[in-house]
Structure 1
Amino acid sequence: MDSLKSTSAGVVFGAALTLSRVYIPTVIINQLRLHDFHMLEVFLTASASSALIMLGFEKFGIAKRSVRTNSSLGWFSRYDGNIIGGSLLGVGMGLTGACPGTVLPQLAQGIESARSTALGAVLGGAIYAKFGKSLVFNSRLSKDEVPADQTNHTISSKFNTSPSATLLTFEALVVTSTALSALLLPGKTFAILPTVVGGLLIGAAQVASISLTSSPLGVSNAYQQLGSYLCRVIRFKDVPQPPFPPKSILFALGILIGSAVSGPLLPTLANAGTVPITHVQAIVGGFILIVGARIAGGCTSGHGLSGLAAMSFSSLITTASMFGAGIITQLILK
């Protein structure tokens, strides 16, 4: 039953990503080039709707918000894992025109670079499964030197504001930013649905994920689980076997199914995925994508959608690092 629930939640998310068309490499890369703001508007709407969903679930006692804690390598900050991991994730997005979640609809829709990106992503998951704990263990700061205040990880606690005021401010900023983007900024080249509708579809996927699996949206752990299986196949027995059933992998499988089913409902796009991404670039980018996501403790979905919706301070840092590094990567490539 748990397997079916995880897969079903993935089906809803895969359909939402496909129908909103944020999975298309051209859309992601043009967003990072600041040429097309379709992705931004969908992303903001999805985050804002997810925040209201989580609040409603918490108020009615259905599920508590999953506030994400900081990721620390112990190198220079409590949040250095979020900064470094988020930046690597952004570089990977800039190289591949994908994020961990959108790689799967790209595969389902036959985007040429997706197979190489997925290969790199699984290899990245394997490397992290093998060496990720050592990376943290060998940090320059001992546990005693890492700041001890780990009790509250929300944005409101960092800015000394009430949770209600923080949520209202977040919602107001999203509504204002989305409206200004829709009115003033270019883009929406491949949109078939209004961007707000696309974001609300992803919000509906958030409802499905929390209702069915008791967990918010997040994809990158699936690649680590696949990587763990790969490590065990090549006789790295010190890598733990993922729990059975591997819910993250089943969720990812659902995304593939949801995209494959919903894709034919939309008009065929001409040249939608044609961006200059070589196979080597896609493999390297996919590798960096997942290593960065696992170091940060979450990906574009886990931090950008679910983490921000839960008002997690670490997700704010990760998301800013991710998009900042992605924009810089595309500026350099361009």
Structure 2
Amino acid sequence: MDTLLTGAAFGAALTASGVYQPSVIISQLKFENFHMIQTFLTAAGTSAAVVTAANKLGYVQLKPRPYSSIGLFSKADGNIIGGLLLGAGMMLSGACPGTVLAQVGVGVRSGLYALEGCAVAGIVWTGFLHPYLSSSCGLKPAVSPKDKKEDEKQLAVYECLGVSRSTVFLGLEAMFAAIITAAVMFSSVGPEAKIPPVIGGLCIAAAQLLSILWRKQLIGTSTSYEEVGDWFWGILKGHMSPRRYNNILFTVGMTGGAWLLSRMYPALGEVTEVAVSPLAAGLGGFLMVIGSRMAGGCTSGHGISGISLLSTSSFLTIGTAFAAGGLVGLLRG
């Protein structure tokens, strides 16, 4: 029940913030509207404060997210390549692995096609791509215990830089605050912003707080598509019940929370139309889930939760995702 309720809170927060709308995501990646970045940085910065407090108080002990390697050129090549696929998929679909669930709950048509692409990606990832990358004859190289220990020392940005956690935390908060202030002062938001984007970001951070308090876990959504893939292949083998479903429950709660809030406050469910074809939405959904699983997280798992942990892998993933989304947006015009 805690998982469903936390998911519902997150889905409702995404809906209230307006960042679930395809027009918001696409216009941000085209640098035409800064609604999304205001919301995202507020959510990530506030979540970082929440996570820091929870760790300091000893309520939880949340560690930085590990690198994701597929053995091509570095220990973080999965984060980089996965981030590129994630960003390209976001631009094509006008969604991300988390917001697509809010889109479905509200009734955004393109979100249904994107979700289909996400589900297919989960099946392909679980049945083919992940086993290949993880196999002894695949791309992932063996890592010696010594190298693994060294890698674990540099999971966080402050460890890589050789400075204190407080220095990076305070610097990050100041940088986020400066960017948000500049965006508020020198840019405008569209009709999708029923509440100020900063307030929307605080709503998302509140959902993160609930997840820590109730589940002692951080929010994340892309693993649910891997669980869908597991379920699909299990059914083919005669196992009707899923082996794991905790993340599926979370995402079901997200869709339900978005649906409920949009019915209680219809203005929050008013969608600004933007041209996203079924093909683009489906392909985008496929790419962003493959990318998310390759990187070990998506815009919620890496973007909000991973950055709040000051994870180096999360900054790499989200940085490449926004860069790829911006490039695809430029090419599409």
Q: Deviations over 1:66-90 (max 9, x none)?
A: 3100000110011100000011000
Q: What one-letter code is carried by the residue in structure 1 that aligns with 2:34? A: F
Task: Report if the CA contact (8 A) 1:22-1:28 is conserved.
Answer: yes
Deviation of 1:211 (Å): 1.4
> Structure 2: where are the runs of 5+ without partners?
none
Task: Report if the CA contact (8 A) 2:69-2:140 is conserved.
Answer: no
Aligned length: 327
Q: Which residue of 2 aligns with 1:89?
A: 86
Task: Report if the CA contact (8 A) 1:71-1:80 is conserved.
Answer: yes
Percent identity, aligned pairs only, is: 35
The structure richer in helix per residue is: 2
Does 1:51 pair with 2:53? no
In the alignment, the residues of structure 2 paired with residue 201 and residue 81 of structure 1 have an alpha-carbon distance, to the nearest angstrom, of: 31
Task: Report if the CA contact (8 A) 2:89-2:288 is conserved.
Answer: yes
Please say which of residues 226-235 and 164-173 is displaced more in the overlay: 226-235
Equivalent residues in 2 for 1:61-210, closer than 5 Å: 61-131=58-128, 132-137=130-135, 138-139=138-139, 141-144=141-144, 147-148=147-148, 149-152=150-153, 153-210=155-212
Residue 68 of structure 1: SS of its match in structure 2?
coil
Task: Report if the CA contact (8 A) 1:66-1:307 is conserved.
Answer: no
Relative to 1, partners in 2 of residues 1:34 and 1:111: Cα closer, same or farther, differing over 3 Å? same
In the alignment, the residues of structure 2 paired with residue 108 and residue 271 of structure 1 have an alpha-carbon distance, to the nearest angstrom, of: 12
In the alignment, the residues of structure 1 paired with residue 297 and residue 260 of structure 2 have an alpha-carbon distance, to the nearest angstrom, of: 27
Task: Report if the CA contact (8 A) 1:6-1:251 is conserved.
Answer: yes
Residue 150 of structure 1: SS of its match in structure 2?
helix
Deviation of 1:317 (Å): 0.3
In the alignment, the residues of structure 1 paired with residue 189 and residue 326 of structure 2 have an alpha-carbon distance, to the nearest angstrom, of: 16
Task: Report if the CA contact (8 A) 1:33-1:330 is conserved.
Answer: yes
Q: What one-letter code is carried by the residue in structure 1 that aligns with 2:231? A: Y
Deviation of 1:276 (Å): 1.7
In the alignment, the residues of structure 1 paired with residue 181 and residue 119 of structure 2 have an alpha-carbon distance, to the nearest angstrom, of: 38
> Structure 1: where are the runs of 5+ without partners?
none
Task: Report if the CA contact (8 A) 2:220-2:305 is conserved.
Answer: yes
Deviation of 1:283 (Å): 1.2
Task: Report if the CA contact (8 A) 1:105-1:260 is conserved.
Answer: yes
- TM-score, normalised with respect to structure 1: 0.93
Equivalent residues in 2 for 1:18-33, closer than 5 Å: 18-33=15-30
Q: What one-letter code is carried by the residue in structure 1 that aligns with 2:284? A: G
**What is the CA RMSD across the aligned residues, in angstroms?**
2.0
In the alignment, the residues of structure 2 paired with residue 280 and residue 323 of structure 1 have an alpha-carbon distance, to the nearest angstrom, of: 22
Q: What one-letter code is carried by the residue in structure 2 that aligns with 1:207? A: L
Q: Which residue of 2 aligns with 1:258?
A: 257
Please say which of residues 138-147 and 107-116 is displaced more in the overlay: 138-147
Relative to 1, partners in 2 of residues 1:271 and 1:333: Cα closer, same or farther, differing over 3 Å? farther
In the alignment, the residues of structure 1 paired with residue 69 and residue 276 of structure 2 have an alpha-carbon distance, to the nearest angstrom, of: 32
Relative to 1, partners in 2 of residues 1:188 and 1:66: Cα closer, same or farther, differing over 3 Å? farther
In the alignment, the residues of structure 2 paired with residue 179 and residue 236 of structure 1 have an alpha-carbon distance, to the nearest angstrom, of: 55
Deviation of 1:65 (Å): 2.2
Q: What one-letter code is carried by the residue in structure 2 that aligns with 1:293? A: S
In the alignment, the residues of structure 1 paired with residue 147 and residue 87 of structure 2 have an alpha-carbon distance, to the nearest angstrom, of: 27
Relative to 1, partners in 2 of residues 1:269 and 1:208: Cα closer, same or farther, differing over 3 Å? closer
In the alignment, the residues of structure 1 paired with residue 112 and residue 140 of structure 2 have an alpha-carbon distance, to the nearest angstrom, of: 37
